């Protein structure tokens, strides 16, 4: 039995929440890597140590949100997953290489040999991979939003259903590279780095224990906020020509105006809170701002997963699968949510942060 629109929409909303969790949590872990790369000034080592201490206990759990999104996509919307995997093969592979190098290098640095030179080398790999991964992730999202991925898929013969072979007359470049490599997608990629760096810097103002370090990250958060604004504005300028569907959706969707307003309020709130040094308020506002940007994208391209032809409805798995998935999700959440709450209480509550670095297995 086919799934009802309400059912596929609810599953899609859960996917969006999981993606939001990935962006807010793992995104900030990648952002931490960005600040490792750009660590400067007299407190350079202290900045790096704080980043490492902040992400150490939680980055692997945060990373699993991505796996949840992937599993959700291929279980509940299999043709959409297959289509994206075909058209975005190259950037997704690059993103995976970034994910592998980031995670491995972090583990090698923190649990491996305590000697100085390898530590620095792994730190460098960790930092560079932390910048490249969100860049490629952003490019993929930009490419989907622009509608070019969907158009390329149609030409590969995977648009509506059934398998197809690559049309020999179409060049490799036109089908598998050009759709995701445009000035628009590059700007979205840069914006993603800026957003993740912004989140990380704001969170780190809460986690820093001395005021000088806190000021370092306050300045970094403000700089990242500026970078977000510049890249977002640039992407918006390019979107009418390079991502027309996106730009229409951002203006025409029923949800567009309220979401834009909420994003604006949250952004002003975050910057105002940073300015007046209200760290906890800044953290909530920054997370809200980034979430509203993500929701804005989702609303702009709803009901499409891959515009212009793969929708929630025409790619949804049968009703039975979706219902069972919701049941599994509920059961999983009963185990997962208390566990996550426990993890963050142990390492991120105010008392835990005041207590300072615990007994991580790090070499410091």
Partner 1 sequence: MGDLLAARSQMAVSLGFHILFAVVGIAMPVLMVIAEARWRRTGDSMYLELAKRWAKGTAILFAVGAVSGTVLSFELGLLWPGFMRFAGAIIGMPFSLEGFAFFTEAIFLGVYLYGWSRISGRAHLVAGVFVAVSGAASALFVVIANAWMNSPAGFHMANGVPVNIDPIAAMLTPAAFPQVLHMLLASYAATGFAVAGIHAIMLLREPQNVFHQRALAIALIVGVPAAILQPISGDVSGRYVARWQPTKLAAMEGQFRTEAGAPLRIGGIPDVDAQRTRYAIEIPYGLSLMAFHDPHAVVRGLEAFPRDQWPPVPIVHVAFQVMTGLGTLLALVAVWVAITAWRRRDVASHRSLLRAIAVASPVGFICIEAGWVVTEVGRQPWVIYGVMRTADAVTPMPGLIVPFLVISALYCFLGVIVVWLLYDLVMRSPTMRGGEGPPPTSITSAG
- 55-74 residues near partner 1, rule: CB under 8 A: 56-58, 60-61, 63-64, 66-68, 70-72, 74
| C-alpha distances out from residue 341 to 57, 257, 283, 337, 355, Å | 13, 34, 18, 6, 18
Q: Which two tokens stand for residue 48?
A: 């790096």
Between 241 and 349, whose beta carbon lies closer to partner 1?
349
Per CB under 8 A, does 22 bind partner 1? no
Question: What's the closest the beta carbon of residue 200 comes to partner 1, in angstroms?
Answer: 18
Which residue, 139, 126, 151, 119, is CA-closest to 183? 139
- 2 lies in the site for partner 1, by CB under 8 A: no
Q: Does 164 bind partner 1 (CB under 8 A)?
A: yes
What interhelical angle do 183-207 and 116-146 show, nearest 10? 130
By the rule CB under 8 A, 92 interacts with partner 1: yes
* Candidate segments 87-95, 214-222, 265-273, 284-292, binder of partner 1 by CB under 8 A: 87-95
Q: CB 111 → partner 1: shortest distance, Å?
A: 4
The burial of 143, by beta-carbon neighbours within 10 Å (0-12 exposed, 13-18 middle, 19 or more buried), is given as buried
- Measure the CA–CA gap between 272 and 274, rounded to whole angstroms: 5
The least distance separating partner 1 from the CB of residue 97, rounded to whole angstroms, comes to 6
Region near partner 1 per CB under 8 A, out of 108-116, 182-190, 192-200, 214-222: 108-116
Rule CB under 8 A: which of 192-221 touch partner 1? none
Binding of residue 103 to partner 1 (CB under 8 A):
yes
- Phi, psi at residue 49, to the nearest 5°? -65, -40
Q: Which residues, in sequence order, are CB contacts of 321 under 8 Å at separation 6+?
A: 75, 76
Residue 174 interacting with partner 1 (CB under 8 A): no
As measured in angstroms, the least distance from the Cβ of 85 to partner 1 is: 3
């Amino acid at each position: 039995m086919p799934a009802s629109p309400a059912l596929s929409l609810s599953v899609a909303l859960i996917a969006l929440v999981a993606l939001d969790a990935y962006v807010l949590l793992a995104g900030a872990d990648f952002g931490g890597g960005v600040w490792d790369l750009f660590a400067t000034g007299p407190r350079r080592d202290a900045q790096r140590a704080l980043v490492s201490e902040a992400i150490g206990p939680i980055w692997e759990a945060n990373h699993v949100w991505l796996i949840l999104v992937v599993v959700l996509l291929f279980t509940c919307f299999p043709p959409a997953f297959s289509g994206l995997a075909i058209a975005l093969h190259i950037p997704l592979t690059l993103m995976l290489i970034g994910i592998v190098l980031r995670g491995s290098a972090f583990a090698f640095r923190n649990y491996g040999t305590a000697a100085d030179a390898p530590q620095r080398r792994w730190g460098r790999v960790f930092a560079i991979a932390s910048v490249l991964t969100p860049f490629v992730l952003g490019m993929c999202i930009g490419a989907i939003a622009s509608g070019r991925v969907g158009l390329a898929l149609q030409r590969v013969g995977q648009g509506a259903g059934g398998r197809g072979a690559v049309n020999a007359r179409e060049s490799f470049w036109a089908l598998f590279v050009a759709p995701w490599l445009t000035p628009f997608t590059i700007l979205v990629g840069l914006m993603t780095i800026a957003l993740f760096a912004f989140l990380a810097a704001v969170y780190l103002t809460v986690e820093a224990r001395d005021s000088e370090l806190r000021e370092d990250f306050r300045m970094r958060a403000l700089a990242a906020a500026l970078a977000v604004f510049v890249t977002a504005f640039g992407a918006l300028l390019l979107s009418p020509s390079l991502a027309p569907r996106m730009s229409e959706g951002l203006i025409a969707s029923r949800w567009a105006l309220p979401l834009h307003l909420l994003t604006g309020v949250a952004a002003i709130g975050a910057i105002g809170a940073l300015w007046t040094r209200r760290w906890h308020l800044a953290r909530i506002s920054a997370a809200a701002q980034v979430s509203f940007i993500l929701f804005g994208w989702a609303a702009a391209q709803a009901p499409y997963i891959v515009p212009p032809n793969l929708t929630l409805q025409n790619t949804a798995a049968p009703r039975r699968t979706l219902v069972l998935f919701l049941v599994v999700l509920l059961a999983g959440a009963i185990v997962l949510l208390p566990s996550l709450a426990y993890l963050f209480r142990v390492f991120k509550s105010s008392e835990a942060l005041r207590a300072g670095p615990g007994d991580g297995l790090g070499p410091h």
